[in-house]
Amino acid sequence: METLATLRDLQATLRDLTTIQRELSDLPPDVAVLDGRVKTATKFMAEKNRARETAQLQIQAKTKDLALAQKEEDRAREAVKATSQKVHYASAIRELDEKERTKAGIARPLKALEAMVQVLDKALAGLEAERSAAQAQFDELHAVFLDEHANQVEGRKLLLAKQSELEAKLPPVEVARFHRMAAARQGRVVVPVEGGACTGCRVKLRGPLFADLKEGKILITCESCQRILFLP
Ligand SMILES: [Zn+2]
């Protein structure tokens, strides 16, 4: 059956890909250290950028509040100037005092936020320098590593092409189901039946199912573990 053959081929292709992928990600210690440095710096940069964004939003809001507070303070100051009667003057002064305090209460945290953004910018610049230096060293050494593993690199290219080719022959739902099961069952999705039992879960097949399998007209899955079955 065409589908079964394609699925078995796909399984073998993915197994070979996993092996090659493992060899290609088994970096020499010095290269692995650089890879780790790049990843760590990238992670810290993302954190600091998030903190910076939050601070910027707060700055925007507080800047608006400050402008409003400034207007109120100006109005209160004008009121003081315009007042000639002593009794009104005292209350206008109190009002101005209060408006000044409100403005200071906004200006202080705003200043702190602006200082924080400056600190974050400095940290980000340092991290970017660290990241790009580590990345440059990594790229250099990794290119040497890949040169030394040219066979695997070529093999991976061929296997990936084969994977696409095989997947194109199958209905997309079948491909999705295959990958889901492969992830859950360590890549063993299509398994042989031996001694009348599924070799994936050791459960014996019911008679009618075994007969269908022998007939080989439709795709048979194990009733116990859902793996796809074939007779070797
Ligand atoms: Zn089974």
Report the chain (232 residues): mean pLDDT per 10 consecutive residues.
92 96 95 97 98 98 97 95 85 94 97 97 97 97 96 97 97 94 94 96 94 92 95 92
pLDDT given at position 83: 87
Q: Three-state SS for 191?
A: strand
**Could you give the strand order of the β-sheet that contains 190-194, starting from the edge strand earlier in sequence?**
197-198, 190-194, 228-230
pLDDT given at position 184: 93
Establish if 142 belongs to a structural domain. yes
Distance 221 CA to ligand 1 centre (A): 8
Establish if 196 belongs to a structural domain. no
The enclosing domain of 155 has a CATH number of: 1.10.287.1490
Distance 228 CA to ligand 1 centre (A): 8
> Taken in order 126, 132, 136, 142, is the CA torsion positive or negative?
positive
Round to whole Å and give the CA distance between 65 and 196: 78
Distance 193 CA to ligand 1 centre (A): 9
pLDDT given at position 86: 80
pLDDT given at position 87: 77
pLDDT given at position 101: 97
Establish if 202 belongs to a structural domain. no
Distance 223 CA to ligand 1 centre (A): 7
Establish if 88 belongs to a structural domain. yes
Establish if 220 belongs to a structural domain. no
pLDDT given at position 47: 98
pLDDT given at position 104: 96
Distance 1 CA to ligand 1 centre (A): 20
Distance 16 CA to ligand 1 centre (A): 23
- Number of compact structural domains in the chain: 1
pLDDT given at position 202: 95
Distance 195 CA to ligand 1 centre (A): 13
CA-wise closest residue to 72 among 99, 91, 97, 93: 99
Domain with 140 in it: 27-169
